[in-house]
Each structure stands twice: as structure tokens, then as C-alpha cells.
Amino acid sequence: MNGDKLLEKMHGLKSVFDEKESELTGLDREIGDGDHGVNMKRGFSAVHEKVSGGTAPEVLKQTGMTLMSSIGGASGPLYGFSFVKMSDVAKEDIDKENLMEMLDVFADTVASKGKVEGGEKTMYDVISKSAELLKESGALKLDDLQALAQETEDMIATKGRAAYFKEQSKGTIDPGAQSAVYIIHALGEGME
């Protein structure tokens, strides 16, 4: 995957989040402030508008900077900073092994910036298991990623706004876990 291919994927996420806006907002309305759909849509609309090309590391870095400056809310700095950090390890031609490294950096960045670990009902629950999924199954299939997001449904949130809902956060998939499914699916598409 070179810079052009990666740019295509990042631009493609605009239509994904246009389509998934109401789903993500619906989840965030249950256990947050109801803006995750709008946040992701705004972020990737800005990426579509502002990120215009370069090598794969450059595209990742520009995507990250754009997400940081365009998404309000907790998810902006977490996703934004993660893309910037992934640009440090990405090769100009990203292969499967390199993608695994990138996903590890994605997880480590969210862990340190969000002070989060597994089982706290956040995007981290999907991101942290995706490298292993790629390693074991050789792909990042939508169904498999969705199953990871599904696991957050029965968790009790202890980070972010959802933590205010305590026990009541049970029964809803974490919005950030759901958006992470789409981002990681896009990164892995065509890498099988």
C-alpha cells in the first residue's frame, strides 16, 4: 500500500462516516453526549478536503493533524495523535507486517494518551486486538472487527463520558469501538 492507495482509503472514510453518522450518534446518545457521529463525519470530511497526497507516512501524518484540529471531543486527539504516531513507523510501501506494527503503535498511543486498558469499554478494545486478528486470520474482516466491538456491549465503562453512566453503560456498544471498526477495516482492505 503506497501513499496513493492510502489516500484513497482515507478519503473513502468520508463516505463511510457520512453513512454511519446516525449509527454512531445513536450509540453516543445512549452512553455519552450524542456527538460521536458528527465528530467522525466532520473529521473525515476535513481529511477529504485537506489531505491531498504524498508518501504513505506523509498521508498518515496529515490525516492525524487534520483529525486533531477538526474533531472536538475525546476521540479527536486519540485518533489524531495515533495517526501521527503511526506515520513514524509506516513504510512508503506498507505491507501486512508493517500494518501489524502500525496497529500496535495505534493501540500503544491510545493506551498512553487515554490512560486506558482493555475491558474499559472504549475504542482501545477494538484497536488493541486488531494486530493480533491480522496476525492470526491474515485479514481484517468487517465481521471479525465487528465482533470485537460487540464485546464492549456488556462492559461497564470506566473511561470517558460513558463512565458517568456506570452500570447503565451496559447494553450499548461503545461508540468509539464502533468507529474504530470502520477505520481499521479501511486500513486493512486489499491487504489480504
Exactly one of 3, 43, 64, 73 binds Mg ion (CB under 5 A); that residue is: 73
Of positions 175, 185, 187, 188, contacts ligand ADP by CB under 6 A: 175
Q: CA torsion, points 71, 73, 79, 81, in degrees to nearest 10?
A: 90
Whichever of 3 and 76 has its CB closer to ligand ADP, that residue is 76
122 binds ligand ADP (CB under 6 A): yes
Amino acid at 41: K
Select from Mg ion, ligand ADP, none the partner in contact with residue 145, using the beta carbon and a kind-dependent cut-off of 5 to 8 Å: none
Contacting residue, 33, 49, 117, 154, with ligand ADP by CB under 6 A: 33
- Contact characters 28-57, Mg ion, x per CB under 5 A: x---xx-xx---------------------
* Residue in 45, 127, 130 with CA at minimum distance from that of residue 79: 127
Q: DSSP assignment, residue 55? A: S
Q: Of 1-9, 141-149, 164-172, 174-182, which part binds ligand ADP (CB under 6 A)?
A: 174-182
Where do we find the cell 460487540? 150
The answer to whether the CB of 65 falls within 8 A of the CB of 84 is yes
Number of residues that bind Mg ion (CB under 5 A): 6
CA distance 122 to 114: 10
Angle, alpha carbons 133-114-154 (nearest 5°):
60
Interface positions with ligand ADP (CB under 6 A):
28, 32-33, 35-36, 39, 73-75, 78, 110, 114-116, 122-124, 159-161, 174-177
